[in-house]
Amino acid sequence: MTPPTMTEAPPSDAPTAGATPALSVRNLTTRFHTQDGTVHAVNGVSFDLSDGEVLGVVGESGSGKSVTMMSLLRLIPSPPGDIAAGEAVFGGEDLLAMDLDDLRAVRGGKVGFIFQDPMTSLNPVVTVGRQIVESLEVHDPGSKKAMWARALELLQLVGIPAAEDRLRCYPHELSGGMRQRVMIAIALACNPQVLVADEPTTALDVTIQAQILELVKELRSKLGMAVIWITHDLGVVAGLVDRVLVMYGGQIVEDAPVAELYAQPRHPYAHGLLASLPSANSRGTRLVNILGQPPDLRSEPDSCSFAPRCPHAFDRCHSENPVLTDVGGRSVACWLDDGRGLGAEGADWGEPVGGASAEGEDA
């Protein structure tokens, strides 16, 4: 693949964390008002994203990963969704407070978004070339010829063979991996500063996932954009990102550089998540597992949401919600050892129980 050179691409090939963050989120709170009560999906999430940084967001389904990122661009349907508090400063402006016309210039322009399912996020009755051009018409209009040339350039950039023919294809004529490449091409169309990818490889096979991951690494070094990569696959995170946010119950429980998190997770949940993965020598042994079920988010968190499943929980965990505290190079939200999380000895998950006794009780 010999992709064409991109305009406005910074020459650096290993982007370093800048001093001013590209995106700064503070105390983001999103709720859904449903018939069953208010669901507290995101509870006071704060983080910074540096220029050119790849940030991984991991957590189970329902932990608030996607809702957090969709809230940033106000893509949450309202009602029932309601971004109750917080700010998200991007390029000196608060995305959550700006008026919709200005926000529209950010969505798909300065911030690109890749959704999980390439089968449903492309319009089935419009050719892929037209869908790329559509994004350009809104954000970066030029002559028709120039825009179609740009669309072709983008398809080549994301490694689609015979790109010229593919421009006229409809989504159903492409395979899943190709469709996801088209989604990436659309997200990149306007040279975004930040690319948000919401589980972009979950629906794909591992060999196709490997292709997409290589592509994103290559594009990131070529284009120098910051990437937020939402996933539940801890393997993908290990190979791709610089820093990881671990989310649980709508809150960030640990925010750490990737190597340090995997070497020594400080939050018991992060520890359990990593310990539960099978390894080459786990045969014949029981896998460590986190007992119980994910939390019910229908009440305002007034205690640590992980406490009911945590083997280390003590009185304070059940009565007070820990805040994310900087502990030198990383942040952890845990009361253990005075809010600094687990020590080097790691968590004690006891005799792993899986089958016949475990699993929490709130069916």
Chain positions contacting another protein, by CB under 8 A: 60-61, 175, 177-178, 205-211, 213-214, 232-239, 258-259, 262, 272-274, 276-280, 282-283, 286-291, 293-294, 352-359, 361, 363
Distance between CA atoms of 17 and 156, rounded to whole angstroms? 29
Of 25 and 160, nearer to another protein (C-beta) is: 160
**108 versus 177: smaller Cβ distance to another protein:** 177
Q: Is 299 or 319 the residue whose CB approaches another protein more closely?
A: 299
What SS3 string covers the chain? CCCCCCCCCCCCCCCCCCCCCCEEEEEEEEEEEECCEEEEEEEEEEEEECCCCEEEEECCCCCCHHHHHHHHCCCCCCCCEEEEEEEEEECCEECCCCCHHHHHHHECCCEEEECCCCCCCCCCCCCHHHHHHHHHHHHCCCCHHHHHHHHHHHHHHCCCCCHHHHCCCCHHHCCHHHHHHHHHHHHHCCCCCEEEEECCCCCCCHHHHHHHHHHHHHHHHHHCCEEEEEECCHHHHHHHCCEEEEEECCEEEEEEEHHHHHHCCCCHHHHHHHHCCCCCCCCCCCCCCCCCCCCCCCCCCCCCCCHHHCCCCCHHHHHCCCCCEECCCCEECCCHHHHCCCCCCCCCCCCCCCCCCCCCCCC
Cβ proximity to another protein: between 235 and 311 the closer is 235
Q: What does the block give as tokens for 245?
A: 């946010």
Q: Which is nearer to another protein, 214 or 337 (CB)?
A: 214
Identify which of residues 273 and 334 has a Cβ nearer to another protein in the complex. Answer: 273
Residue positions counted in the chain: 363
How many angstroms separate the CA atoms of 227 and 127, rounded? 27
**Closest separation between CB of residue 125 and another protein, Å?**
23
CB of 340 to another protein, least distance (A): 22
Q: How far is the CB of 146 from another protein (least distance, A)?
A: 31
Nearest approach in angstroms of CB 239 to another protein is: 4
Q: Please, what is the minimum distance in Å from the beta carbon of residue 178 to another protein?
A: 7
Q: How far is the CB of 43 from another protein (least distance, A)?
A: 19
Nearer to another protein among residue 146 and residue 259 (C-beta): 259
Task: Name which of 61 and 143 has its Cβ closer to another protein.
Answer: 61
